[in-house]
Structure 1
Amino acid sequence: MLRILAIVLLVLDISPATAGAWMRDKGSGYSSTTLSATLLQDFSESTYLEFGVRDDLTLGAEVAFYTFSTGLQSGTAMVFLRRPIGERDRPTIWAYELGFGAGWSGDIVRPYVRGGLSWGRGYQLRQLNGWMTVDASVFIDAYYAEHIGKVDSTIGLNFSDRFSGMVQVFHAATPNISATSIAPSILFKPLKRRPNIRLQIGAETQIGNAENSALKISFWRDF
């Protein structure tokens, strides 16, 4: 059970902030690397990549590793595609994702497929612009037909050309185990001459398990 919980917690942890329903323009891409450490001395590292093959097709991959203070190690790896649903120039946009990969914990390896549906919308608060996303997905175990459901919600606000803030809520569950986390963070562009590079600094707290709160640092790059 602990190893299955480890996979649930890792799936909960890998939540790229800019996925949502937005597509990458043809020939453009995005990458992020995230490091996280909890008060219990659990550590995780994840790398996320997506690239616009066409204006209506984005391909991506993500890899994550998690090391518990007990010494147990877990990880996930996945490749996926994203396609839009309906017109892209509407205020509210939708997209779907299909992917396959595997999660492992110790000597347990669980291949899975993933299906997802995303919703996104921009908004304006006085003179400031922001964005909202909801990403719902299900990870289906290819061998045992078990599943992990996941819902990520994000609301963000751009305070200036260089500074933004956002709050995310992550929820992952199996029929027997569930976990929900809240993650506020700030984003900023440290280099004026490199506006395509951003840093994210934030915290994440699992509801009902505050001692497992984590500090997260991410490096984002558009290319």
Structure 2
Amino acid sequence: MLTRLLLCLCLIALVSQAKAGAWPRQKGSGFASVSVQLSWPQNIQHWIDTQPTDQYRTAYLEYGLTDKLTIGLDIGNSVSGASKSIAFLQYPIRNREKGPKIAFQFGIGQISGEQVVRPGLSLGWGLKKGWLSLDSFMETRTGDGVSDYKLDITWGRNLARDRKLLLQLQTGIQHGDPAFARFAPSLVTPLGKRLKMETGATWGLTGDSSMGVKFGLWTDF
């Protein structure tokens, strides 16, 4: 099963630096990624079989329309786990050499067939051998005004041979449910000049009793 999933990822990526976050894309440059996350209960006694109880797939695209304006697509699963397709624009609020980079994002699209708007704010700091970023979003259904919230905190470190270590804390609040937090470390390894593979794991800390694995492919163009 995992072999088939990885093959699908490769095919998608081939017909398609990490997600920019608060850093604007240069005009004419882009980034694309696909990933799949498979999850199981942390308590093995709750397993019925070895098949994953949850599967989350995502496809992401960014493109620098100008040196300041970035456009993109975010397709896959939302905070609630429902299917989503969001088109967005991102513009830097603060883009100085020193201090944090700050960018505002506004997206529109659908989650589980319902119209949504998704404003977001990203902050990023360049470190000596890596970076630190905070990416926050609010997904609001236009029909009833109900909102879900998400905040991801990522510490990244550049390693030898163009590898990257990512330590991410994923948090969120879905309407009607308690807040959740999960730890998601991963390693990014180059497969060629432009293609990179991400492999990682997830572990629910609070409001999430799952554990899982993650596979992804990144490419710059």
Question: Structures share a fold, TM > 0.5?
Answer: yes
Q: Distance in 2 between matches of 1:219 and 1:114?
A: 25
Residue 58 of structure 1, aligned match among 70, 92, 98: 70
Q: Equivalent residue for 2:205?
A: 207
- Return 5+ residue gaps in structure 2 as ranges: 1-17, 41-51
Q: SS state of the match for residue 38, structure 1? A: strand
Q: Equivalent residue for 1:184?
A: 185
Q: Distance in 2 between matches of 1:84 and 1:185?
A: 27
Q: SS state of the match for residue 20, structure 1? A: coil
Q: Distance in 2 between matches of 1:60 and 1:205?
A: 29
> Where in structure 2 are the equivalents of 1:1-223 lying within 5 Å?
18-39=19-40, 40-64=52-76, 74-104=82-112, 109-124=113-128, 129-177=129-177, 178-191=179-192, 194=193, 196-208=194-206, 212-223=210-221
Q: Distance in 2 between matches of 1:210 and 1:146?
A: 21
Give the CA deviation at 1:210.
6.6
* Cα distance change, pair 210–100 in 1 and its aligned pair in 2 (3 A): closer
- Kept after mapping to 1: 8 A contact 2:149/2:174: yes
Q: Distance in 1 between matches of 2:171 and 2:91?
A: 23
Q: Distance in 2 between matches of 1:87 and 1:74?
A: 34
Q: Equivalent residue for 2:11?
A: none
Larger strand percent: 1
- Kept after mapping to 1: 8 A contact 2:181/2:207: no
2:109 alignment partner AA? G
- Kept after mapping to 1: 8 A contact 2:90/2:103: yes
- Kept after mapping to 1: 8 A contact 2:25/2:64: yes
Q: SS state of the match for residue 23, structure 2? A: coil
Q: Distance in 2 between matches of 1:151 and 1:222?
A: 25
Give the CA deviation at 1:148.
0.7
Q: Equivalent residue for 2:44?
A: none
Give the CA deviation at 1:205.
1.5
Q: Distance in 1 between matches of 2:169 and 2:83?
A: 21
Give the CA deviation at 1:170.
1.1
2:173 alignment partner AA? A
Q: Distance in 2 between matches of 1:145 and 1:159?
A: 44
1:198 alignment partner AA? K
Q: Equivalent residue for 1:70?
A: none
Give the CA deviation at 1:110.
2.5
Q: SS state of the match for residue 54, structure 1? A: coil
2:136 alignment partner AA? A
- Kept after mapping to 1: 8 A contact 2:102/2:124: yes
Q: Equivalent residue for 1:8?
A: none
